[in-house]
Structure 1
Amino acid sequence: MQRVVIAGLGDTGVLTALKLAKRFQVTGISAKPGLLSGQELGVRVARPHEWARDYWTGFDRFRGLDRVHTVHGTLTGLDMAARTVAVDRAGAVEQVPYDILVISTGVTNGFWRRPHLQSAAEIDADLQAVHRRLAAATSIAVIGGGAAAVSAAANLAIALPAAQIGLYYPGDHALPQHHRRVWQRIESRLTASGVALHPGHRAVIPEHHDEITGEPVHWSTGQPAVTADAVLWAIGRVSPNTGWLPAELLDAGGFVRVTPQLQSPGHPEIFAIGDVAATDPLRASARSRADGLLARNIAAYVAGKPLRAYRPPKARWGSVLGAQADGLEVFAPSGQAIRFPAWSVRNVLQPWIVKRGIYRGVRSD
């Protein structure tokens, strides 16, 4: 049986492992002891207990991962000639062999997406510490114009009505990678929640922008500095988690080069998916459910059959604010909003569509 190693068990890595587990001998490598999703930052910082219920799940709870061997450690190297990856497991380096390698190590992005080794207790403590820091603030400045920043501002305004929340973004409008209709709809919700909108503000990025800071924010666009008790940086300045990979696999930005079939050029036994893969300008394979295509392509590669090409969407799509008291809005690439009532999110969407359908069964705590 072919050995498939999945380097990185985030959202996309787990979904890929679930689809390959019945056909291949799969080993997944992760610096976390479970799926610590990078989704829904706003809900994560505003309502961490609720967020953890749906987006922080130990690997042992996934029924579909029962066939997968998971390794808790940090990736430190790749030997393409020997077809092994090196994993540091608390000081002891282990060489894990593969016939096929899937690179899905994602990116580092702010305080909520970091590749360092953590235990479950450390993750739980981090979630609560961030929330306490923000909840103690009487004023919060959210810096950035993408979905993470918009979601953080909106959810914090609802959870902390006594705090002054400001959203600062460089363009005339936020959510520039979404269809314009999405911002038109979200803008009114932000205003109704009391979020002060500040377009045309491009921040001077401090050294510690991957943390919540308390120093004044300065602007390269000329506005006076802004001071807040807490400054949340969600500026989309991502760094690919590829320091363990040979340079020949990477593009100029450090992302993994791939063909339309999600294969590494010149190394057909190596595939990449998710935010770490240079598939398109939006690197959208993580949000476009390309895990199904990848699993089919790996099976086709092993069988010597033609592989299919990945076709990325032209605009961002999906949820922006996350589940709210009045339900969940999901936006299509066209900007059209699809609304799920609140009762359906808890009673249908999460237990049946997500946990049973997409994740193939998740055990309760």
Structure 2
Amino acid sequence: MSRPRILVAGLGDTGLLTAIHLSKHADVVGISSKPGLVSGQELGLRLARPREWARDYWVAFDRYHRLDSVRTVHGTMTRVDLEARRVHLTGPDGAAGTEPYDVLVIATGVTNGFWRRPNLQTGDQVAAAITLDHERLAAAGSVIVLGGGAAAVSSALNVATTWPDKRVDLYFPGGQALPHHHRKVWGTLSKRLERLGVGLHPRHRAVVPDGFGCDEITSGPVEWSTGQSASSADAVLWTIGRVVPNTTWLPGELLDENGFVVVDEYLRVRGAPGVYAIGDVAATDPLRTSARSRADGLLAHNIRADLDGGTPKPFEPAARRWGSVVGAQRNSLEVFSSGGRAFWIPAWSLLQPLIVWRGIYRGVRKSG
């Protein structure tokens, strides 16, 4: 009996780990708009220290030995034929193609700001975009960071650490930042930001200019809907969490009113037999992927259970976000528990067990 053919649409943070989990049990094909993993994690490191970031968050697919049995396809999905069980796509040369499936996993994620984009890119284009953002900040004498999530806090801290002579200000809409983490996390990181000289400005909500998708670093004044006078800087980072699901290739009946894929408690897509969704693109809970490292293993279990007549397990999202917030600092990584406790890993050589357990880097990589 032939093994089932599983098509993973999207090989970002979650899709790649899902493909790894399934690779021993099925013929897996992954479709990616990038030539390797270009993670959406640790934005602050990517902006301030791109070489260090690329070491662990931009990884060619052939460096994962557990992907050796997975065929990766470089392209973007254009539509899916649910009845024929085929995904239509366009390759880097513009040629159209199709990929059949027995099981489809939708893991195309979301567009978010200037750093998480679904567009088809070569390795050189990825490198050029990362370098351009870094040089834009390096040349700025002052930086405004807008937003209260991990991307905003990480960006403010890493910019201030890398360029201590810059004026850096963090503006966020609530009374404190990191509202989806335990309050102790903000208590720890706000003190660190203050020691670095970062200006903290709570209860500031930026006015997004008409027609602006928050998809580039800007300059000039920022207006506030909360009544404060306008603020300005040489570079403005719009890390406000204005996410758009990458689902234009999917039929509307699979989506909710905001364009996210509707799933049941087992991550099955409603109304589409043999189709599942995982990660930011799935309409699961307000935190989306707060339990990412648990969800990919659970989804693999559920797919195998559905194929073999086993018992699936329901997805239970975490109540709070946990893990790294600001990335590696001075060759150490700080990880926060869901209860707000900080754990320091003192050297990168000690990280491999944590990496595999947490799913931060999606599997064991080949050396070299």
Pairing 1:137-286 to 2, within 5 Å after superposition: 137-206=140-209, 207-284=212-289
Aligned Cα root-mean-square deviation (Å): 1.5
Shift of 1:306: 1.7
Shift of 1:354: 2.5
Pairing 1:67-146 to 2, within 5 Å after superposition: 67-89=69-91, 90-146=93-149
Contact 1:288–1:313 (CA under 8 A) maintained in structure 2: no
Contact 2:9–2:15 (CA under 8 A) maintained in structure 1: yes
Shift of 1:355: 6.5
> Given residue 337 of structure 1, which amino acid in structure 2 is its aligned partner?
A
Find the counterpart in structure 1 of residue 25 from structure 2.
23
Contact 1:274–1:286 (CA under 8 A) maintained in structure 2: no
Find the counterpart in structure 2 of residue 44 from structure 1.
46
Find the counterpart in structure 2 of residue 362 from structure 1.
365
When residues 286 and 117 of structure 1 are mapped into structure 2, their CA distance, relative to the original with a 3 A threshold, is farther
4+ long deviations beyond 2 Å: 284-289, 351-361
Q: Does 1:314 align with 2:319?
A: yes
Q: Distance in 2 between matches of 1:326 and 1:61?
A: 22
Deviations along 1:42-93, one digit per CA (max 9) or x if unpaired, are: 1110100000000000111111111011110011001101100111113211
Q: Does 1:337 align with 2:305?
A: no
TM-score (norm 1): 0.96
Q: Distance in 2 between matches of 1:356 and 1:124?
A: 29
> Given residue 43 of structure 2, which amino acid in structure 1 is its aligned partner?
L
TM-score (norm 2): 0.95
When residues 254 and 262 of structure 1 are mapped into structure 2, their CA distance, relative to the original with a 3 A threshold, is same
Q: Distance in 2 between matches of 1:153 and 1:7?
A: 33
Shift of 1:288: 4.0
Deviations along 1:201-242, one digit per CA (max 9) or x if unpaired, are: 100012142100012111111111111000011000100000
Count of residues in Structure 1 that have an aligned counterpart in Structure 2: 361
Q: Distance in 1 between matches of 2:320 and 2:12?
A: 22
Q: Distance in 2 between matches of 1:320 and 1:132?
A: 23
Runs of 5+ consecutive residues of structure 2 not aligned to the other structure: none
Shift of 1:337: 1.6
Deviations along 1:1-57, one digit per CA (max 9) or x if unpaired, are: 111000000011110111111110110000000000010011110100000000000
Find the counterpart in structure 1 of residue 5 from structure 2.
3
When residues 235 and 356 of structure 1 are mapped into structure 2, their CA distance, relative to the original with a 3 A threshold, is closer
Question: What is the identity percentage for the equivalent residue pairs of Structure 1 and Structure 2?
Answer: 57
SS at match of 1:312: coil
Q: Distance in 1 between matches of 2:61 and 2:262?
A: 29
> Given residue 127 of structure 2, which amino acid in structure 1 is its aligned partner?
D
Shift of 1:289: 2.7
SS at match of 2:54: helix
When residues 208 and 256 of structure 1 are mapped into structure 2, their CA distance, relative to the original with a 3 A threshold, is closer
SS at match of 2:312: coil
Q: Distance in 2 between matches of 1:177 and 1:150?
A: 13
Contact 1:12–1:286 (CA under 8 A) maintained in structure 2: no
Q: Distance in 1 between matches of 2:126 and 2:364?
A: 23
> Given residue 88 of structure 1, which amino acid in structure 2 is its aligned partner?
T
Q: Distance in 2 between matches of 1:83 and 1:286?
A: 29
